[in-house]
Amino acid sequence: MADNRGNLIPMYVVADESGSMTPVLGELNAGLASLHRALLAEPMAAAKVRFSVLGFSNGVDVRMSLADLRHEDELPVLSSTGGGTSYRAAFTALLTRIPQDVQELKSAGYTVYRPAVFFLSDGQPNSNEDWASVHRQLTDRSRGVAPNIAAFGIGAADAATILNVATDRNYAFVQIPGADIGAAITKFCSALTTSIVASGMSLAAGNAELVVDKPEGFRMAIDVV
Amino acid sequence: MSPEHRAAGPNGRAAPPTVPPFVPPAAGPSRTGPAGFLPAPARPSHPPAEPGRPVGDSVYAAPPSRWAPVELDRPVDRFEPKPPSGSSYRPDTIFDGWSSEHVRVRLASVRGYAHRGNGRPREDDVAVGLHGSGALVFAVADGVSGAAQSHLGATLACRTAVDTVTRQLDEGRRPDELAWAEVLNHAAYQLVAQTAKILGLSREDAAAAERLMATTLVTGVVVPSSLGLDVHLVSVGDSGAWLLSGGRRFMSVIREPVSGGPVASSAVVALPRVPGDVRSHSALVSGSDRLLVGTDGFGGPLGDGTGPVGRLFAEHLAPSLEPRGLAHLLDFSRETFDDDRTLLVVWPASAVEAQP
């Protein structure tokens, strides 16, 4: 172990900028601005986040990379030039980018926790491509830095697709019209950054066993509780 | 439970698409959130640097005000802490210190900035006792945040461990032959028994105790010897122990294989879960060396001890340090390090005598 400069979670907003998203991009941009404001109001949480924004249609545009949002005046504005919805391109970009980013932060002396992806889409991917296999690689924890993916269905989203993208069914959401997307993502950001400190019981307990039998000579503590 | 533990494989995706909606929030930024939500500091401020204020390692010598936190790199924004939740009194900070013929002891436990901000109590605790033989018995614990009353678990584990080790010494066991499995089992069972009492359970339930009171524990004994101080200890979870030797080198006393994956995790194995193979660790504290025992709130920012945190403690952990001085030192402010911190420091008499 080297010196530890800090504890960080890389977070990625991956936004669908395909033609079908055009009617809701204004709402998405308002959501990103709301997320930025909310994180600035949570300085302890914001300090632990390095933020990237990727827009995708048939290809992927990196709009922001590993930014400390406390030093950014505003988040990038999403825009659509039409085109399809290649989930495969989006997941392939993450498959390459996330391990590189984690390594970059670790090389700079930070302790890096599991990255989080906020995937925003109307849930209508190109029908002629296999994105599920790339998604499986991306989320396979035995292969490397698999992120938690929270999927947000925007507009008339296909709920089944959104469920398939999220890494846990509790991380899958569809939007109620008028809901603030930024506020929803902010709750996730805060919960994830808090989890750095909030230790939990390890699921990988190895050979550790719960003590269930009263040991010989045991004495109750009477002056503590 | 952290998202790290909630995350699952793709199994859930085969289920019917009953996706929960996200609900439109009230106007303005959301002020509520998931359990453990980190609220905004009540009074954020970055005090301007004072002209002539020393920087780097000397920062402790002249803080901008006498009891302002020692700031390293970029500090946490200052704010007034929220009161800790819970029915029993839990002070933000405790410190203690004394000397015997063979050892000088300083200890402190401080509530982390995150818990000060979200109104959780300090979940760390520490206990020490001096045995009639001259041996120092100690325990340091870090309650698992995922357990609702883990601060009580930490306190119970510390006191039970010190009590059990002391009893074994009373019974004539040699310090290097203590029954460590028994010590851990007693501490673990204390959590189980007290959980049954608190919850009014008709029978003891170890799983319920894990949910309510899970805690890490490092406990041991420091024994005067002809060469200095012999240390024997055991550990469950990620609390640690170090020798600070040669003025600046931090060496871990606990030699476990590193199981680090590609990313860090805050998940720990904790009491009332006890390893099947309990391994003790030993070290010798000699000359001007110091023994440090602490929770990961100290060990995390310490890293390998070569950074600002290591330099701060290497420079200021002198035997002349007052107990309240250790508490102040331990409450250093460096952003992203906001966990509770607990540290026990032990000097051999030789180090005390050698001090200027």
User: What pTM was computed for the model?
Assistant: 0.83
Q: How far is B324 from chain A (nearest CA, A)?
A: 24
Report residue B1's pLDDT band, with 50, 70 and 90 as the boundaries: very low
Residue of B nearest to A165 (CA): B13
Residue B21 and residue B19: Cα distance in Å, rounded? 6
The residue with tokens 């109620």 is A176
Other beta carbons within 10 angstroms of residue B51's beta carbon come to 5
Check pLDDT > 90 for residue B163: yes
Beta carbons of B233 and B241 less than 8 angstroms apart: yes
Other beta carbons within 10 angstroms of residue B281's beta carbon come to 18
Beta carbons of B102 and B134 less than 8 angstroms apart: yes
Query: Angle between the B323-330 and B308-316 helix axes, to the nearest 10 degrees?
Result: 170
φ, ψ for residue A150, nearest 5 deg: -100, 125
Question: What per-residue confidence (pLDDT) applies to B65?
Answer: 74
CA B34 to chain centroid, in Å, comes to 25
User: Among B134, B156, B258, B145, which Cα is nearest to B211's?
Assistant: B145
User: Among A11, A14, A29, which Cα is nearest to A77's?
Assistant: A29
Q: Which of residues 180-199 of B touch A (CB under 8 A)?
A: 182, 185-186, 188-190, 192-194, 197-198
How many residues appear in chain A? 225
Written as six digits, the tokens of B47 are 């005090």
- Judging contacts by C-beta atoms under 8 Å, the chain A residues touching residue B17 are 159-160, 162-163
> What end-to-end distance do the CA atoms of chain B give, in Å?
50
Question: What per-residue confidence (pLDDT) applies to B227?
Answer: 92
Share of residues in chain A with pLDDT > 70 (%): 82
Q: Kindly report the CA angle at B167 between B238 and B242, in degrees rounded to 5?
A: 30
- Judging contacts by C-beta atoms under 8 Å, the chain B residues touching residue A192 are 3
B21 in contact with A, Cβ within 8 Å: yes
Q: Tell me the ipTM for this assembly.
A: 0.83
Other beta carbons within 10 angstroms of residue B238's beta carbon come to 22
Q: How many Å is the Cα radius of gyration of chain B?
A: 22
| Cβ pair B17:A34 closer than 8 A | no
| Cβ pair B306:A175 closer than 8 A | no
Tell me the average pLDDT of chain B.
83
User: Among B227, B197, B220, B226, which Cα is nearest to B209's?
Assistant: B197
Helix, strand, or coil here: A67?
Answer: strand
Residue B209 and residue B212: Cα distance in Å, rounded? 5
Per-residue pLDDT reduced to its tens digit, B198-230: 999 999 999 999 999 999 999 999 999 999 999
> Which DSSP letter does residue A87 get?
H
- Judging contacts by C-beta atoms under 8 Å, the chain B residues touching residue A212 are 192, 204, 206
Written as six digits, the tokens of A10 are 């890389």
Per-residue pLDDT reduced to its tens digit, B85-141: 988 899 999 999 999 999 999 999 999 999 999 999 999 999 999 999 999 999 999
Longest dimension (CA), chain A: 75
| Cβ pair B34:A191 closer than 8 A | yes
